Amino acid sequence: MVDVPFPERYAEITRFSVSSVNQGNDAPGSFSIKNRGNENLSDIDVKITLFDNQATLLETLNYNNIAIEVSEEYEVSFTLSTASLPAQDYYASINMSYGDRFGSQETTFRLGDLDGEITRYPRNITKQGIVPFDISVANHWDGDVFLSGQIAVPGAGTVETPRALTKPFKTSILKSYIDTAALQPGPHNFTATITIEDAESGESNTFSEVMNVLVIAPEQEKEKLSIAPTTIILVALVLLLLASTIIIVTMIVKKK
């Protein structure tokens, strides 16, 4: 592919990223800027800013008077001072200016800890014997971990999930099955206790979360399913009646 220069002064941010790391480490990042215009540039200023998840400004890095020849690319690696910051999500931005022109990008990253988060679970289950109950758990650690869980269901005991090897800052699905025979229809509070174990060191941590689950009687489920066909029939009848009316009106107009 031929890279045809713009017929003007033009620079573009082609990459901006910050890597997620564990708490206690500085976060490495990089950016690159390409001169896509037809003039050499020597007045590019760049400002990188670091914010926490409350939009509080934490750090600023400045690069001034960057010079880039036509069709050339300028690449920089940098480090954000995050070693003393708590584990959570952060975001960084890059702002570029040269003359009266500007460019910007944003990115997010995380300072991790040996912890996790339940991101998804079934909100409704039907009372029909043994049913699947899968939960999604996010790994907040910059390293491979084993995730496993115990789900306490009042009136139905506790079930365990198999262990799932999970990559850094990724999510795994923990599969389980719950016997709904002893559960009454209505809202229930299930408690999931998740164990997260570092695959390399064996260090582990646990956290718990209450899940609000609605148990639905089979009759209620049938009622929900029966709504759709009834609605379709009603809509079909209305459309048929409308079509008939249009035909009759058309015939009357033609006779006149």
pLDDT tens per residue across span 4-59: 667 789 999 999 999 999 999 999 999 999 999 999 999 999 999 999 999 999 99
- Domain map (residue ranges) of the chain: 11-112, 116-215
Q: Taking the CA atoms of 49, 108, 138 and 144 in sequence, report the sign of the dihedral they define.
A: negative
pLDDT, the chain, mean: 91
Note if the pTM is more than 0.85. no
**Quick one: pLDDT at residue 4?**
60
- 3-class state of residue 255 by DSSP: helix
Residue 6, pLDDT score: 74
Q: What pLDDT sits at residue 179?
A: 95
Topology of domain 11-112, per CATH? Coagulation Factor XIII; Chain A, domain 1 (2.70.50)
Q: Which fold has domain 116-215?
A: Immunoglobulin-like (2.60.40)
Q: What share of the chain is helix, strand, coil (3-state, %, to 5)?
A: 15, 55, 30
The CA-based diameter of the chain, rounded to the nearest angstrom, is: 91
**pLDDT, tens only, 185-244:** 999 999 999 999 999 999 999 999 999 999 999 876 555 545 556 666 766 777 777 776
